[in-house]
Amino acid sequence: MTELIKNLIGGKWEESGSGTFESINPAHTSETVGRVVKSGNAEVDRAVRAASEASRAWRLTPAPRRGEILFRAAEILVRRKQELGELMTREMGKVLPEALGDVQEAIDMAYYMAGEGRRLQGETVPSELADKDCRSVRVPIGVCALITPWNFPIAIPAWKLMPALVAGNTVVFKPSSDTPVCATRLVEVLAEAGIPEGVLNLVHGKGEDTGEYLTGRPDIDGVSFTGSTAVGEGVAQKCAAMGKKVSCEMGGKNAIIVMDDAVLELAVEGALWGGFGTSGQRCTAASRVIVHEAVYARFLEMFTRAASRLNLGSGLRKETDVGPLINSSQMEKVLGYIEIGKKEGAELLTGGKAYREGECAGGYFIEPTIFAGVTPTMRIAREEIFGPVVSVLKAKDLDEAIHIANDTRYGLVSAIYTQDVNRSAIAERELDTGIVYVNASTIGAEIQLPFGGTKKSGFGFKEAGGRGGALDMFTRWKIIYRDFSGKLQKAQIDK
């Protein structure tokens, strides 16, 4: 019998009176991974109340103690890495090595943020007055709503949960309805590690229902959202109107620039990984490759030949390179963009259709697809497709390549392949994206630096670690002046 996946509210695993929905294996749609409770408004209300009631005790728990819980969670994740990776491949579809990497990212984030329990640095500065000191400290913002997507079903929740918890916030977590089982397993790990009742609450449901209602609750102090630009803009506007702190990580139309001095074998590997890793279902996917005209034909030949050799199938098979798309609606969207590319006059070099051979007949598979002769004004060069479709464009020099790369409403990540240090320096300065790679693909950000984009790729605070990372989202600054002179002193006036 298929397991029933429940909500966690106030430390109790609960069913719902609003029905259930199913989580399906996208590689084998006849397999149900889990039957999941659907949260109504009443469940969301109780989850927020539980988080509010637990807030003071958790805030007053010493930060090093909070960090120790995250350290224990990291150790549990290490032990369960293989099990969780295989579950992710079944529920989300990405190939097993990528799924294991997803879990490893959660492990890394748990260890990193556990260490922040003994840092959470502010600063102490000298006062202009005698017998007075000045300092800043981080304090939690309160109750946080965390809304996460399906493409990184353990890593992205960890990116939000770990900093929110170590900073002393309580949480209501609403994961994607496409990957609720993975999210539940992560919450189970944190509960086993010792998170107190009510500090972490989990509610399942659709974004347009459960997520929409959750973010609109007046007693939510901050919202961290990862998903589409259209939805993220709505979340940001709602939070601004209600005075909530907000972080929105959204879409991308990322470009790899390949210069005439690039090592083409390396650039092709990067374009394959960036374009077809996770079946192109990453906000950081390299859906555009901008190639110098001197090596354009040779790059296309090498790239097309390599893409045509990629194996499609279940991500649990060792020989599989590209897994399925997440669901039927995403598959239809991607196929629709392929038809748009053909009508726009782009040249289809490989792929371009659903793949239903052998074991792939029962899943949402699309062949790795490459379009050549793409111009910057074509929709396939401007709109986020979120599938295994790459557009290749031609540029006469570095300036034109950078102009094409920047000529988009998105600004998440970009990359350049060149052996010229001066060219790479110019690209680092001029590419208008939150992340720039040199001689590496557009995917593979590390957790010890902030993650986020410019323009329509991100709004509000960044994710992950480092200065300007997630702790800035999940804390606010309190400034403390202590005068122990025993008399009234007036800053800027007393001398």
Token reading at 400: 């034109």
Q: Are 452 and 293 in contact (CB under 8 A)?
A: no
Residue 279 is classified by DSSP as G
Residue 312 is classified by DSSP as B
Separation of alpha carbons 205 and 7, rounded Å? 10
Q: Where are the beta strands (DSSP E) in 129-169?
A: 132-140, 143-147
Cβ-in-10-Å burial (0-12, 13-18, 19+) of 65 comes to exposed
Is 128 considered catalytic here? no
Q: Where are the beta strands (DSSP E) in 16-131?
A: 20-24, 32-37, 123-126
3-state class percentages of the chain: helix first, strand second, coil last, to nearest 5: 40, 25, 40
Token reading at 80: 């369960």
Q: Specify the residue for token string 């929905």.
A: 21
Angle at 275 between CA 270 and CA 277, to 5 degrees: 85
Q: Which residues pair with 36 in a beta bridge?
A: 5, 21
Token reading at 75: 């150790």
CB neighbourhood size of 400 (10 A): 16
Token reading at 192: 């086993």
Is 182 considered catalytic here? no
Which of 43, 98, 116, 249 is the catalytic position? Answer: 249
In angstroms, the Cα distances linking 185 to 7, 172, 175 are 12, 16, 12
Which of 144, 182, 239, 283 is the catalytic position? Answer: 283
Question: Which residues are known to be catalytic?
Answer: 249, 283
